[in-house]
Structure 1
C-alpha cells in the first residue's frame, strides 16, 4: 500500500485513531500528515501533526509515554487510520490511560454499578501494565516483576490456598479479601506471560456460545 493512495483532506491530514493492542481501548484521536505518517512507520512509534501548533510532534518525547506501533490499518474509504500500539504510559495529557473518559450516553440495560464493577478489572490490568513498564521504586508490583515468574507463581498458589481455606471455613469476609488477592496476583501473572485479560474473556464467550 502506497501512502499516496490514502485520502488526506484538503489540509493534507488524515485522522488516526490510536488503540491499545491488548485491551482494544481507544486511547486518543489525533491527526497525521504524510511526513508524520512516514516518521511513524520509520521509527515504529507514533508521530502526529498538531493542528494548533502546526508542527509535527512525537508522542512521549517529553513525558516518556511513547507508543510502540504494532500495526496500522486504513478503512475502506482510505480516509482514516487505526494505529494499534503498546503504550508505555498514559495516552492523555491529564494522566489517564485514554483521552476518552467521560460518557454522554450509557445503555441503561446495564446498571452503572455493574459497569463500574467490570471497569475495575480493566483499571487493574492497566495499573499492572504501567508498573511493569515503569517499575516505580517501592511498589509491590515492581517487586513481583523483578523477582520473576517463580515468585509470581508462588504467590498465586499461596492466594489460591487462602481462598480454599476461607471457603472451607465458611468465612465470607475472609473469602472476599483472599479472592481479591488471588485476582490481583493472577493479573500480574497474565501480564508476565504477555496474555491480555481480553483473551480470557474471549474463551469464556466462546464456551458460553457453545452451550
Structure 2
C-alpha cells in the first residue's frame, strides 16, 4: 500500500458532492468518474475500497458491491482547487457495468511486467507440472536465489562483449528470475517501484 494513502485520510470535502476520477494505479489508465460526499469518502478510506454517492439511487454505493469488481485504493489526491479527487486504485475486474475495462470502452492493457507477475503467480498456484516456473518454485528459495545469481553472472559476462542480442536476452533472463524471487518472498515489482519513487521524491525535494 502506498504510504501516501494513509496521510490522506483527513481530507475535508468543501462541497456536498465532489467529482472523483478513478485511475488505475499500475497502468495510469483513467477508469471511470463518480461522485463522493464526505460520508462516501470516509467509508472509502475506512474500507480501502472506493465508495461513491449514487445520484440516481440517492445513497452510498460501493463499486463492486454486487459484481465484486471492487476498486482497492492505493492513493488519494486532491486537486489544486480542492474540488476534485483523484483516486489511484487497483481494479478487481471490469469497471463498467457493461463489462468493459473502462467506462469509455477502452482496453486497460497492463504493463507486460505486471502481466508476467500475474502469469508467474498463476503457474505456481495452479501447480502446472510442465511449467518451468512451478518446478523452480518447488525447489525452494535457495535454488531460486542460486539461479538468479547464475543469471546475474551470465549478464555480467555478456556485458563485456558487443553482442547486443545475447546481452538483452541475458537481461531478460535476469529480470524474469528476479520476478520469481520477488513472488516467493511475498513482494511484487510495484513494491520496488514504490521505494524508487519515494527515493526520487526525496531527492527532488
Global fold match (TM > 0.5): yes
Alignment of 1:1-211 (within 5 A): 1=10, 3=12, 5-8=13-16, 13-20=17-24, 23=26, 25-34=28-37, 35-49=39-53, 57-61=61-65, 64-88=68-92, 93-95=99-101, 123-131=111-119, 137=126, 138=128, 150=142, 152-167=144-159, 171-189=163-181, 192-194=186-188, 195-197=191-193, 199-200=195-196
Tell me the distance in 2 between the aligned counterparts of 1:205 and 1:71. Answer: 15
Question: How many residue pairs are counted as aligned between the two chains?
Answer: 183
Give the match's secondary structure for 2:73: strand
Shift of 1:15: 1.6
Distance 1:56 1:77, change over 3 A: same
Structure 1 gaps of 5+ residues are 103-118
1:196 aligned counterpart, secondary structure: helix
Give ranges in structure 2 of 5+ residues lacking alignment.
1-9
Deviation at 1:132, TM superposition (A): 7.2
Aligned alpha-carbon RMSD (Å): 4.7
Residues 26 and 100 in structure 1, CA contact (< 8 A), matched pair in contact too: no
The TM-score, its normalising length taken from structure 1, stands at 0.56
Match of 1:115 in 2: none
How far apart, CA to CA, are the structure 2 residues paired with 1:59 and 1:193? 27
What TM-score do you get using the length of structure 2 for normalisation?
A: 0.57
Counterpart Cα distance in 2 of 1:203 and 1:2: 25
1:97-139: CA deviations, max 9, x gaps? x98769xxxxxxxxxxxxxxxx9xx713322454577776247
Q: Structure 1 residue 196: deviation in Å? A: 3.3
Query: 1:42/1:206 Cα in 2 relative to 1: closer, same or farther (>3 Å)?
Result: closer
